[in-house]
């Protein structure tokens, strides 16, 4: 019987729209505006109000080469009002190296017209139109955001002036080979309207939790939840922060008005890139073309123009400018993905007013992707165009490198990052040659929520296997790509499929897994088979890429690094201080009532001997009560739920307060209820205030009948539990309880009432402890451990990963060539660092990459005996062996009896 004791009643909510309210409010609060099934993961990043603003924003994206189509794709998936794609030019061969919605048959056709239909299929809520004429002021007036890519300087200045004068948000994005730039002007009156979350009412740090609040001196705050000085609560922000060292709650929006744009101060490298891009405009106007790849005369002319833009105080990195000239004619999919993700996030900021935008120039280069041998491998001839779909990439890396890419063998998944990686693989020609292969492995099927960030899937694909659908989409993007789909995950139980032969044949692995344990397992395989690994992941607007290279870098992580933090059990049971604590408690309550007992009963009914192997009295009690205390009517369910409610939200709290009264002191002058320990209060049941979610009652008649049953029943009075010890530390908790962490997985079926139950139970628990409640969406995200996700971050992270892939294919051996990246799109910021060496402090010691290879056969081709193997290790390497294992099976041990050792040593 599934009846919500949690929703029967409590103290009156603070407002009609309290987060304790009915789930029907969640579904009808904005009818027809937001498709929560489609945008579920993105809603956790942007929120409902920002999504509503997106849905009112018309966007123009000019330039439909690789960068422009990336920006358009990301904002269409995000759900803006409409997108107009503009390009007066026709498709060229070089466009196919980064523009994934163009094919060889489109060469000579207008880029915007050829892309429009493919873009429109991404999101049925976003109409997409193509425009090929000149951008006039009257035409631009219809848009709230304008994005330019692949446009000359005169056009950029003209459009920028029009947009600034009309308060239209203007974004400029450009990539040239391995360098890119981004500029934003959101006008003089643009306002960021964004509440920041923190811990309400906290002014000084507790237990070292002074991290991540995001406040700085001068920010204004609102004080909430203060007891004893209630006049402070809810006041308008009027006092700025100073010496901020705590978590605070900013209830009023943080409003930041951006004045007329100024060039952000940049380092010497960024300054040289800025001058190189400016000089490039002059060069293009003068020559009518971009500098030709590896033509020294063109590079020197660009350098001369850049020198003319400097003053006597400014330094110019001449080597950087020459290298920029050599690669500026190139079009690279990873660069388009990275800058496209960053630029699209700025579009979403402009449309929603959420998050601080870029102020105001960003420059990025990845020139370390070029061969370590320098120009010896790249010549004017090797980088010349060949009327190939890879001409844009050949211009940067040469034709020989393109053939090397075609021979690669890689393993990849088909999740959000996996789809972006596969799209990039198709564009760069990975595994598109003789001997190449990409294996797509994913056991999941496509859900509707995947469509807002996984560009390879469409509505018609829902229910199909991700691996097979993704592989088919890649073949459409590049028919030469040799891709194979496997509907299996990589794990210990599939080692017969992904065994020695499979991994030994690979050139590398790309990883984007949800759990640390899965990542650690794949990492262990890469260590075993000496294969490079590109690990990447996202969480909302944050992302990372870590590159692991055999013998050169540290592996993914140690077991200590991979341990996921857990909340102490005593905190969950007795001393919660955050809504996350009450949500985990409610999730365990759900499992304890509706999941684990049912599973144990089913096991018992299938095999009565099941009870004999159970080690906990709780499991036995669950089976007994489930079989013997069955409800016989609906009123039985109501009475049971009422008693459960009284036990959890009143009696348990009264027992706790008896053991530790409000004025209790741990020692003279040191209050027990202080710091993270919140003094609770028991709740009073009120059947006239029903908060029962729709999914947990059969209808209005049942709710009315439930109230009658509640009014008629007599609840047993509170009885103090004598002699019960309440643990206050984790050590004491371990002495009195054996608790197994229960994991609850939510499907996209929001009608089953699971989240409604957990939200109600959690918020009632929060009311016990004076914790602010959580709404339905936050409850689902925390209880279901759902990772917020958005297409912009996914695209940018996949771009960074493929830049590292270039280096792996080159075979870079210099640790300084590789980059681990930690990306934040809000505000745009990247921490790019060198991978760590596998040897501590640079000392040459044994590491996980070292191994001793011993021939498995003797001089005449026969298999070695175990004794012969031990003799080789002792004689050749001087290593006496005490134990030999195969997996966890001991094949030989020096402590065995002599006869057993001798028998084992003769085995081959």
Helices (DSSP H) in 647-724: which residue ranges? 652-659, 700-712
Task: Give residue 704's region: left, alpha or beta (phi > 0; psi -120 to 50).
Answer: alpha
User: Cβ(330)–Cβ(291) under 8 Å?
Assistant: no
Cα gap 304→255, rounded to integer Å: 45
Among candidate residues 481, 559, 556, 469, the one with its CA nearest the CA of residue 519: 556
Cα gap 839→326, rounded to integer Å: 37
Strands 145-149 and 169-176: parallel
Cα gap 427→366, rounded to integer Å: 18
Contacting residues for 54 by C-beta, under 8 A, at least 6 apart: 46, 78, 79, 80, 81, 348, 351, 352
Count the neighbouring beta carbons within 10 Å of the beta carbon of residue 758: 31
With H, G, I as helix, E, B as strand and everything else as coil, classify residue 253: strand
The DSSP secondary-structure symbol of 483 reads: E
- Preceding amide of 360 cis, omega within 30: yes
Cα gap 419→417, rounded to integer Å: 5
Report the b/e string of 268-305 with b at 16+ CB within 10 A.
eebbbbbbbbebbebbbeeeeebbbbbbeebbebbbeb
User: Cβ(421)–Cβ(798) under 8 Å?
Assistant: yes
With H, G, I as helix, E, B as strand and everything else as coil, classify residue 762: helix
How would DSSP label each residue in 95-158?
GGGT-TT--GGGTTSBHHHHHHHHHHTT-TTS-EEEE-S---HHHHTT-SEEEEES--HHHHHH
Range list of β-strands (E), 613-673: 665-667, 670-671
Which helix (H) or strand (E) segment is 412 a member of?
Answer: strand 409-412
Q: Which two tokens stand for residue 101?
A: 């919605």
With H, G, I as helix, E, B as strand and everything else as coil, classify residue 164: helix
The DSSP secondary-structure symbol of 377 reads: S
**For the chain, what's the residue count?**
908
Gyration radius from the chain CA atoms: 32
With H, G, I as helix, E, B as strand and everything else as coil, classify residue 304: helix
Contacting residues for 371 by C-beta, under 8 A, at least 6 apart: 377, 378, 397, 401, 810
User: Cβ(628)–Cβ(604) under 8 Å?
Assistant: no
The DSSP secondary-structure symbol of 418 reads: H
Active-site annotation holder among 169, 526, 570, 819:
570
User: Cβ(575)–Cβ(550) under 8 Å?
Assistant: no
With H, G, I as helix, E, B as strand and everything else as coil, classify residue 438: strand
With H, G, I as helix, E, B as strand and everything else as coil, classify residue 57: coil
Cα gap 405→432, rounded to integer Å: 8
Q: Which two tokens stand for residue 420?
A: 């972006």
Cα gap 29→51, rounded to integer Å: 14
Interhelix angle for 754-769 vs 776-783, to 10°? 100
Among candidate residues 327, 443, 447, the one with its CA nearest the CA of residue 396: 327
Which helix (H) or strand (E) segment is 350 a member of?
Answer: helix 333-352
Contacting residues for 128 by C-beta, under 8 A, at least 6 apart: 72, 76, 82, 83, 84, 85, 116, 119, 120
Please indicate whether residue 848 is annotated as part of the active site: no
The residues assigned a catalytic role are 570
């Amino acid at each position: 019987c599934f009846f919500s004791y949690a929703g029967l009643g409590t103290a009156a909510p603070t407002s009609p729209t309290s987060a304790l309210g009915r789930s029907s409010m969640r579904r009808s609060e904005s009818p027809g505006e937001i498709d929560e099934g489609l945008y579920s993961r993105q809603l956790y990043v942007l929120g409902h109000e920002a999504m509503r603003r997106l849905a009112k924003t018309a966007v123009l994206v000019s330039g439909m080469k690789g960068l422009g189509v990336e920006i358009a794709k990301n904002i269409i998936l995000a759900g803006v009002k409409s997108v107009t794609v503009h390009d007066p030019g026709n498709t060229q061969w070089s466009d196919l190296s980064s523009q994934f919605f163009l094919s060889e048959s489109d060469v000579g056709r207008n880029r915007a017209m050829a892309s429009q239909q493919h873009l429109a299929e991404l999101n049925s809520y976003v109409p997409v139109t193509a425009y090929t004429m000149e951008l006039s002021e009257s035409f631009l007036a219809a848009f709230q955001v304008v994005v330019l890519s692949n446009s000359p300087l005169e056009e950029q200045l003209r459009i920028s002036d029009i947009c600034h004068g009309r308060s239209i948000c203007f974004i400029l994005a450009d990539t040239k080979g391995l360098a890119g730039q981004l500029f934003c002007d959101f006008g003089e009156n643009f306002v960021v309207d964004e509440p920041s979350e923190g811990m309400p009412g906290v002014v000084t740090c507790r237990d070292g939790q002074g991290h991540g609040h995001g406040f700085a001196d001068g920010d204004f705050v609102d004080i909430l939840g203060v007891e004893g000085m209630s006049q402070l609560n809810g006041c308008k922000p009027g006092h700025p922060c100073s010496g901020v060292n705590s978590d605070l709650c900013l209830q009023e929006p943080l409003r930041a008005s951006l004045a007329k744009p100024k060039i952000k101060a940049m380092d010497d490298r960024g300054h040289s890139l800025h001058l190189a891009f400016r000089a490039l405009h002059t060069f293009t106007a003068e020559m009518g073309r971009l500098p030709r790849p590896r033509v020294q005369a063109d590079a020197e002319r660009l350098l001369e123009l850049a020198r003319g833009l400097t003053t006597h105080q400014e330094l110019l990195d001449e080597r950087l400018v020459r290298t920029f000239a050599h690669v500026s004619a190139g079009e690279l999919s990873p660069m388009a993905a990275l800058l496209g993700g960053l630029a699209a996030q700025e579009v979403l900021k402009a449309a929603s007013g959420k998050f601080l935008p870029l102020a105001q120039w960003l420059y990025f280069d990845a020139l370390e992707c070029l061969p370590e041998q320098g120009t010896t491998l790249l010549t004017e001839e090797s980088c010349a165009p060949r009327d190939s779909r890879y001409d844009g990439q050949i211009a940067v890396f040469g034709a020989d490198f393109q053939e090397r890419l075609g021979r690669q063998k890689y393993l990849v998944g088909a999740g959000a990052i996996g789809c972006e990686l596969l799209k990039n693989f198709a564009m760069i020609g990975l595994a598109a040659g003789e001997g190449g292969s990409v294996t797509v492995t994913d056991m999941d099927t496509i859900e509707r929520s995947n469509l807002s960030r996984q560009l390879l899937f469409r509505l018609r694909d829902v229910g199909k296997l991700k691996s097979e659908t993704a592989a088919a989409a890649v073949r459409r993007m590049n028919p030469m790509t040799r891709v194979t789909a496997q509907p299996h995950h990589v794990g210990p139980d599939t080692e017969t499929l992904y065994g020695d032969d499979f991994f030994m044949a690979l050139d590398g692995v790309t990883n984007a897994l949800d759990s640390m344990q899965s990542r650690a397992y794949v990492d262990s395989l890469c260590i075993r088979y000496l294969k490079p690994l590109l690990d990447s992941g996202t969480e909302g607007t944050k992302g990372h890429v870590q590159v692991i290279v055999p013998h050169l870098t540290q592996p993914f992580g140690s077991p200590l690094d991979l341990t996921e933090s857990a909340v102490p059990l005593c905190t969950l049971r007795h001393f919660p201080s955050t809504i996350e604590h009450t949500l985990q408690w409610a999730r365990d309550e759900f499992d304890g009532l509706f999941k684990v007992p049912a599973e144990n009963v089913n096991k018992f009914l299938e095999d009565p001997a099941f009870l004999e192997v159970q080690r906990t009295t709780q499991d036995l009690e669950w089976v007994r009560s489930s079989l013997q205390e069955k409800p016989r009517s609906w009123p039985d369910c109501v009475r049971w739920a009422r008693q459960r409610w009284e036990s959890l939200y009143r009696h348990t709290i009264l027992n706790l307060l008896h053991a530790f009264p409000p004025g209790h002191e741990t020692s003279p002058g040191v209050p027990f209820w202080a710091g993270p320990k919140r003094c609770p209060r028991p709740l009073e049941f009120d059947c006239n205030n029903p908060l029962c979610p729709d999914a947990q009652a059969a209808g209005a008649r049942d709710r009315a009948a439930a109230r009658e049953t509640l009014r008629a029943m007599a609840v047993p009075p509170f009885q103090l539990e004598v002699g019960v010890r309440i643990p206050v530390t984790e050590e004491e908790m371990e002495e009195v309880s054996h608790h197994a962490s229960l994991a609850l997985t939510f499907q996209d079926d929001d009608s089953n009432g699971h989240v409604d139950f957990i939200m109600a139970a959690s918020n009632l628990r929060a009311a016990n402890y004076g914790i602010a409640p959580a709404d339905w969406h936050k409850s689902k995200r925390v209880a279901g451990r759902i990772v917020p996700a958005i297409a912009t971050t996914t695209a940018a992270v996949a771009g960074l990963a493929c830049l590292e892939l270039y280096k792996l294919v080159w075979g870079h051996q210099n640790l300084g060539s590789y980059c681990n990246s930690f990306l934040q799109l809000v505000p745009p910021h990247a921490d790019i660092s060198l991978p760590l060496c596998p040897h501590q402090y640079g000392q040459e010691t044994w590491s996980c990459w070292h191994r001793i290879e011993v021939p498995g056969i003797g001089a005449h081709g026969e298999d070695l005996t175990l004794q012969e193997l031990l003799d080789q290790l002792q004689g050749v390497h001087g290593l006496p062996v005490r134990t030999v294992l195969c997996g966890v099976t001991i094949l030989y041990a020096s402590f065995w009896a002599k006869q057993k050792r001798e028998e084992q040593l003769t085995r081959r």
